[in-house]
Amino acid sequence: MLSHNGSAFDLDANAPEAPKPPESLRESGLPMAFLNDLVLKLLYTRGVLLGRDIAQILCLPFKVVRESLRFLKDEKNIEVMGGDLVGEVSFKFNLTDLGRRRAQEAMEMCAYVGPAPVPLEDYVEQTHRQAVTGLRCTPETLAAPFAHLVVKDEMFNALGPAIVSGRSVFIYGPPGNGKTAMARAIGEFMNQSGGSIYVPYAFMAEGQVITVFDPSLHVVDDDASENSFLDGEAAVRRLLNTDAVDARWVRIRRPVIVTGGELSLEMLDLRYNPESKFYQAPIHFKANGGVFLIDDFGRQLVSPKELLNRWILPLEDRHDFLTVANGKKFQVPFEQLIIFSTNLDPKSLVDDAFLRRIRHKVQVHAPTRDIYEKIFNAQARKMGMQPCPEAIDYLYERYYNRGRSPRASDCRDLLEIVQSICRFRRYPVHLSRELIVEAANSFIAEFN
């Protein structure tokens, strides 16, 4: 991958050490009873399986699964249906009647079937190991995701240290001037240049299973071959390879999770499924190691005061507490760069005590004329139009010099209308003073 000036930089320079696979059941952090139930539930839902398939689906080395298979066989919960000379890894296992009854009981307690969870302690350790506070960020690496934006040097230089600190950022200013675009550019930097991190499919806490990996939010690293399922001899070699990455973890790009007006307090707590009887991690929790962007802050379903009260301690101490159904709480890391983006007055949203906890405040002003012209002309070229100084002159004469504050988003919106007018009239797409007059009458006049 190349930086903005064409020099190469190492995408994985920020990548943390990968979790190592367990050598034994003890090292896996799983109670024998839990793994036994997981094997029984797997056979109950899938039917007859080879030993290697059981290990592969549970994402555990066969040497760990073997301990459970032998115990369940001795207890007459499973039986061997056959196999070849490769050994236990190729045996076919099936439930006995006793095992089927035990599997049904286990399903009633918790219907989770899938990759074995990691212990909470391992999740906490790995999350701290790949925290955003340790991210390498320089002007050169940050420039690439901002290349499509026209940003003043002083603003760019304010954003860099905020990313390096890994602390919260408050981006505010009038609407339409690139706050969200800048926040997303930070997210793109994290996602593309922040190196890969590891998240577990699930972890265990207080005897409960909490799922973490979310394919709708997490982008799997394309080069993470250890996450792919293999067949035949390749699968056997991987299952027996003690130097491989722990397959219970997924290698992903640093997550960038965006939420807007739909954010509620309930989304910040564990989500319990009463039918399957296991939990899903809250949305902000899935952003650990990356970015959590709260766009249009102040317009959420939950009031700013309630939301910020919920996060006062996590922002200060960098850890949070989650609560399971029986009321027990457990501590989890709060290792993410939180970006608040708003066009409302910060003082109308939060008090001084909370603003103190948000380390970096970046104000986005309406563009000056020279910046506006750069944005306008860049957008025109992007849409296949030649710049037209007369069009910009008209906008300032008619609107911006008469009280309307220029917005960076006006450039895109007005030019898209010009493009639509040309297509409708079957003109070649082009820009002129006359067309911008017509576009402005449609777009701006009604807001005067």
In a domain, residue 207? The reply is yes
Over residues 220-241, the pLDDT tens digits come to: 987 644 444 444 444 455 555 5
51-60, 237-246, 273-282, 356-365: segment of lowest average pLDDT: 237-246
Q: Does residue 137 belong to any structural domain of this protein?
A: no
pLDDT-wise least confident of 205-209, 264-268, 438-442: 264-268
381 and 355 fall within a common domain: no
pLDDT in tens, 361-379: 888 888 999 999 999 999 9
pTM here? 0.81
Last residue of a domain, one of 48, 83, 115: 115
In a domain, residue 142? The reply is no
Tell me what the mean pLDDT of segment 242-248 comes to.
Answer: 80
Average confidence (pLDDT) over 196-206: 94
At 36 the pLDDT is 97
224 and 303 belong to one structural domain = yes
> Is 151 a domain residue?
no
Q: What is the torsional sign of CA 215, 218, 223, 228? A: negative
94 and 35 together in one domain: yes
| Predicted local confidence at residue 243, as pLDDT | 52
Position 87 scores a pLDDT of: 72
Domain-located, residue 318: yes
**pLDDT tens for each residue of 372-402:** 999 999 999 999 999 999 999 999 999 999 9
Task: Categorize the per-residue pLDDT at 3 as very low, low, confident or very high, splitting at 50, 70 and 90.
Answer: very low
Where residue 98 sits, what CATH number does that domain have? 1.10.10.10
**One domain for residues 109 and 126:** no
- Give me the mean pLDDT over the 31-59 stretch: 96
Structural domain includes residue 219: yes
* Domain with 271 in it: 122-132+162-233+245-363
Residue 6 has pLDDT above 50, yes or no: no
Among 363, 394, 411, give the residue marking a domain's end. 363
- The predicted structure's pLDDT at residue 92: 92
If asked whether residues 175 and 319 sit together in one domain, one would say: yes
pLDDT number for residue 234: 46
**Are 177 and 291 contained in the same domain?**
yes
Could you tell me if 204 and 120 are in contact, meaning their C-beta atoms sit under 8 angstroms apart? yes
pLDDT at 145: 85
Query: Is 4 part of any domain?
Result: no
Domain end marker among 363, 391, 415 = 363
Co-location of 193 and 279 in the same domain: yes
Domains contained in the chain, number: 3
HSE at residue 234, side-chain half, CA atoms within 13 A, is 6
Is 85 found in the same domain as 180? no
Residues 352, 378 share a domain: no
Percent of the chain with pLDDT over 90: 50
Q: What is the CATH number of the domain that holds 294?
A: 3.40.50.300
Do 94 and 108 lie in one domain? The reply is: yes
Residue 27 predicted with pLDDT over 80:
yes
- Assess if residue 147 is contained within a domain: no
Please check whether residues 359 and 373 belong to one and the same domain.
no
| The pLDDT of residue 375 | 92
User: Quick count: other Cβ atoms within 10 Å of Cβ 107?
Assistant: 18
CATH number for the domain spanning 389: value is 1.10.8
DSSP class per residue in 368-428: PHHHHHHHHHHHHHHTT----HHHHHHHHHHTGGGTPPP-HHHHHHHHHHHHHHHHHTTPP
The verdict on 249 and 336 lying in the same domain is yes
Residue 359: predicted pLDDT: 77
Least confident of 6-10, 246-250, 399-403: 6-10
pLDDT tens across 68-117, in order? 999 999 999 999 987 665 677 889 999 999 999 999 999 999 999 999 99
Percent of the chain with pLDDT over 70: 90
Q: Which residue has the higher pLDDT, 54 or 301?
A: 54
Better pLDDT: 32 or 265:
32
46-60, 164-178, 235-249: which is most confident: 46-60
Taking 60 as the threshold, does the pLDDT of residue 14 lie above it? no
